[in-house]
Structure 1
Amino acid sequence: MAEDDLSPETSAALDALALRFHAADGLGMQVLSMLGGQAEDLLARLPMPVRRGLDGATRRALEIALNAAQASRGRIADRPDWLNRVVTTAMGAAGGAGGLPTALAELPVTTTVLLRAIQGIAADLDFDPGDPKVRAQCLQVFAAAGPLARDDGTDMAFLSTRVALSGPAVHGVISKVAPRLATVLGQKLAAQAVPLIGAAAGAATNYAFTSYYQEMARVYFGLRALARDSGVPVETLLREFRLRVDPPKRIA
């Protein structure tokens, strides 16, 4: 199916999703400007023991978040995107106020709020967060590059990764997502650990992270909702979406 075969409504929806994807770029620039460095420099600022333990800490944070976020769904209503940003911004400030120890303690809490926000977006688009496949897909959103790493808008691998329907699917996704997310969360920890401005950096970082992952979740589940509602295969929509985000360069 080519672009000309898409309905005007489907084409317009793809355009809107591509704009969302591009809008997520640059959300972390305020943090890097505040810190006066580059994203790749942040991890080097962490103590070596913390760097070595990032993968394990991230895996534990994801497992805690998965259980806590799912358990909270029957007791706490989904919040709008802006309120999730307010909550995590306050948590980031508190985490950064005490330097690295409090930032490490805040990590699983913020991850839980982020995952719950992603689940809420899935539910908003009529997907069931209690479905094992949807739970795994919510985790898959964390495979997107973080807000401090994006620079060209072409990291779209997380959108097309297939999630298996087997029993251990969720834990398999955690295993694949954790190493990449560890780098992203390491940058967040390093920002919060900067002396004197840790609270401000923590607030700005959490705001950027929450905004970023919420936008990525709306793109991820938006494409799948569009495939469901339009009858166009998701592979076709992903191809057309990629052309909008990263159009081929014309040869003069």
Structure 2
Amino acid sequence: MIEPAPNSEPKPEFEAAANPIQLAPDDLEALRRAVAALEHPSLAARLTNMVGKPIELIGYALPETATNAISAATTKALEMALKTALMTMRRDPRAGSQLLHRALVTASGAAGGAFGLATLPIELPVSTIIMLRSIADIARSEGEDLSNPEAALACVQVFALGGRTGSDDAAESGYFAVRGLLAKSVTEAARYVAQRGVVAEGAPVMVRFLTEIASRFGVVVTQKTAAQTFPVIGALGGAAVNYAFLEHFQDVARGHFTVRRLERIYGRDIIRKEYTRLAENR
């Protein structure tokens, strides 16, 4: 009979699972809130409650001229937001006032509601830049260094992450799915900015980044515009629509930068696994 060698001890069958890394209670709760914000975009539901009709159906009924105007305004707004992200924010380490952001966005929404589609080319860029400043403050609060081009671009990325609808396929539109689709363009754009130090007009890598963001941001811009042009909305309702617009992207930003903060602490694989578990159990 062969006896075990002296001092030999049986090894656990799954050594990696013997000491799993667990999130601190506060971090787990923060991740749970992030899942709620990122997996269940609420803008369409909020706007539908305002106008009393499914906002997505109203958006589909907009004339082609309105669709073209929304597309042009969306592109212009994101171009201005990108320049702000890479130039203004990194030179201004001070946090802004969330109340001020809400007041300014509400005021611009009142103008949009009063004068309709004609003001969109002016109102949307203004609203988008104000929202970007709010997103940047949230990013800073979660430990982001906005002098890093990748972190600054992550602020712009929020506009795509918040551009999903309730009718999207969950497997293709979930937070990590969208983030994965944008990962290459974000990385390439950040590398380009880090190497050049400036953003050249029409640089292919930056055009590709903005195009991918715009294709998703345009979805919620259409919803917002449809709500503001609805006959019963008017100036007061237009202000409320913009307020909901801002709150929507603030919620998405908090979720996004919470996930990024936890990834820096625990590692991407662990956070993605826990995120998926929480999302599946909702």
TM-score, normalization by structure 2 = 0.74
Q: 1:88 Cα deviation (Å)? A: 1.2
Question: Could you tell me whether the CA contact under 8 Å between 2:70 and 2:120 is conserved in 1?
Answer: no
The residue aligned with 1:242 is: 276
Alignment: residue pair count: 244
Highest CA radius of gyration, 1 or 2? Answer: 2
Query: What is the one-letter code of the residue matched to 1:173?
Result: F
Which residue in 2 is equivalent to 1:173? Answer: 209
After TM superposition, give the deviation of residue 242 of structure 1 in Å. Answer: 2.3
Shift of 1:34: 2.2
Report the Cα distance in structure 1 between the residues aligned to 2:29 and 2:168, rounded to whole angstroms: 18
Structure 1 match to 2:78:
62
Name the counterpart of 1:221: 257
Describe the shift of the 1:25–1:145 C-alpha distance in structure 2 as closer, same or farther (beyond 3 A).
closer
How far did 1:25 drift? Answer: 4.6
- Whichever residue aligns with residue 31 of structure 1, its letter is L
Give the counterpart letter for 1:32 in structure 2.
T
In the superposition, the TM-score normalised over structure 1's length comes to 0.82
- Name the counterpart of 1:48: 64
Query: What SS class does the counterpart of residue 125 from structure 2 fall into?
Result: helix
Tell me, in whole angstroms, the C-alpha distance in 2 between the residues paired with 1:95 and 1:235. Answer: 43
Aligned twin of 1:34: 50
Write the distance in 2 (CA, Å) between the matches of 1:2 and 1:108: 50
Using a 3 Å threshold, how does the CA distance of structure 1 residues 223 and 4 change in structure 2: closer, same or farther?
farther
Q: What is residue 22 of structure 2 aligned with on the other side?
A: 7
The share of aligned pairs that are identical, in percent, is 33
Q: Which runs of 5+ in 2 are unaligned?
A: 1-15, 193-202
In the TM superposition, residue 81 of structure 1 has moved relative to its aligned partner by: 3.3
Shift of residue 96 of structure 1? 1.0
Report the CA distance shift for 1:200/1:98 in structure 2 as closer, same or farther (over 3 A): same
With over 3 angstroms needed to count, the CA separation of the structure-2 counterparts of 1:89 and 1:76, relative to structure 1, is farther
1:95 touches 1:105 (CA, 8 Å); kept in 2? no
CA separation of 1:176 and 1:111: change in aligned 2, threshold 3 A: same
Once the two structures are superposed, what CA deviation does each residue of 1:108-130 show, in whole Å capped at 9, x if it has no partner?
Answer: 10011111211222222222223
CA RMSD of aligned residues (A): 3.0
Q: CA deviation at 1:46?
A: 2.5
Tell me the SS of whatever aligns to 2:53.
Answer: coil
Gap regions ≥5 residues in structure 1: none
The one-letter code sitting in structure 1 at the alignment partner of 2:250 is: Q
